[in-house]
Structures are given as C-alpha cells and as structure tokens.
Amino acid sequence: MKLQCYKVITGKLRCESGLHIGGSADQIEIGGVDLPIIKHPTTGEPYIPGSSLKGKMRSVLEKKVDVFDKNGKITETDPCGCGKKDCKICKIFGAHKNTRHELGATRILVRDAYFSNKTRDEYQTLIKEKGTSYIEKKMENTVNRKTGTAEHPRSLERVPSGAEFDIEIVLQVYDTDKADEMVGFVKEGLRHIQSTYLGGFGSRGSGKVSFSGMKLDGKDISL
Ligand SMILES: [Zn+2]
C-alpha cells in the first residue's frame, strides 16, 4: 500500500446557536463557571479540537451502519473496531482498539479549528473597547417534574452564535483507495453534523452549526 496523494477539504464552520465544547477540569478557574469551554492556553480564544469534529463525524456516520467491536460482535456502545477491508468507518477513522487490522494508517486528519480572521477581529475589538468577553455565559437548570421548579442551576459557557471557525480536514489517499468515495463520506459526515449538532447540550439547543465556503484542494465544492 503506497501513499498516493492528500486531499484537503477546507471551509468555514459557523455557529448558528451557542456552541459548547467542554474544557478539561484543569482549566477550571476558582470562582469560574461550572461548565467552561475549551480555550487556547495562551490566547484564551475558544477553539474546536479536531478530535471533537472527527469524533462527531464518526458517530453520526456510524448511526447509519452496523458497528462491530474488534471481535466482530455488534456493539452499541463503542466505535467500530471491526477492521474489515470494506468498512469505510474503520478505514477512514481507524479501527477502534483493534491493532490486528490491515487497513494501514487512519486516513482522516482533522485540524483544530480556530476563529476566522473576521471573528477574531470582532472578538478582540469587544475585549479592547468594551472589556466584555466574546464568550456567552448561560444558566442551565434541570426542572423537577413533580414541583415544576428549576433545580441544580449550573453556569455554562458557549461560543455565541455568529462566530466562525476555519476548518481543515486532510485525507491521506493510498493507491488502494477511492479518493472520490472518501471525500463523499466526509461530506456526508459534515451534512449530518449540520442536521444535528456539535459539542454538548445539543438536545437543549446548543451546537447548531453550518458549513460554508467549502473547498477541495482549493476548488469550490458543495456539501
Ligand atoms: Zn469497522
């Protein structure tokens, strides 16, 4: 199996609602919010880890097929690890926990997505001129069904709607691969994310995103 070429898919991800991609516990500041979002350690800007976008694409695509563990049993809890030659999930995203497959390298590489220049300018202007943060803080409650009262309020950070991120997805195409089919699969994954959500609290309205200005190797494509 020889590496033949790279296919690079780029575009903009726009938040149509607030987006919550959780930060790790060590980023939680004293007196800060309960559910912070992930931020760049030096600039403080929110970003979308490539693993979040990749993981979501994988999970929405896995909903359309049967998913097997590394022993070939159907699983509902783990990502696919079947390692079979005709499994597009395992080939493109990697065979979960299966080290005995012969699929070669994981084909997809999803870069961390940072603010577009336009959004970064807006973000920095807000901080400079108004001293406000570009990050939305929202209170989340759970409602007690018996009493109808809100309980356990938690503060939740979100990237506000309107923010845009530059995304980049690279496909490593081997001589045994069909490049068009792989690109089609990625596009399908992105369409499913558009129809569902990205990040946390999707069933409560967070994480609606849209993709625009998509390009394949610099040439316009539609999703
Ligand atoms: Zn598989």
49: CA distance to ligand 1 center in Å? 24
Comparing CA positions, the residue from 53, 136, 45, 62 lying closest to residue 96 is 62
- Total domains, the chain: 1
182, part of any domain? yes
Residue 5's closest CA among 165, 172, 186, 219? 172
List per-block mean pLDDT (blocks of 10 residues) for the chain, which spans 223 residues.
95 97 64 82 92 95 85 85 91 91 92 97 87 82 76 86 97 95 95 95 93 98 95
Write down the pLDDT at residue 65: 81
What pLDDT, on the 0 to 100 scale, is given for residue 86?
87
What would the two tokens of residue 29 be? 């500041």
Distance from the CA of 99 to the center of ligand 1, in angstroms? 12
Inside any domain, residue 220: no
Ligand 1 centre distance from Cα of residue 162 (Å):
36
Rounded CA Rg of the chain: 20
Q: Containing domain of residue 11, as a range?
A: 3-143+151-214
Model pTM score: 0.90
Distance of CA 170 to the CA centre of its chain: 14
Query: Is 131 a member of any domain?
Result: yes
* Nearest partner of 187 among 152, 211, 217, judged by Cα: 211
Tokens at 215, concatenated = 């390009």
* Backbone CA torsion sign across 20, 21, 25, 27: negative
Domain membership flag for residue 80: yes
On whether residue 223 sits in a domain, the answer given is no
Residue 178 lies in a domain: yes
- CA angle 109/195/38 to nearest 5° reads 50
**What's the pLDDT at 142?**
74
C-alpha of residue 66 to centroid of ligand 1, in Å = 9
Report yes or no: 219 and 9 within 8 Å, Cβ to Cβ: no
Q: How many angstroms does the Cα of residue 148 sit away from the middle of ligand 1?
A: 45
Distance of CA 201 from the midpoint of ligand 1 (Å): 28
Where residue 183 sits, what CATH number does that domain have?
A: 3.30.70
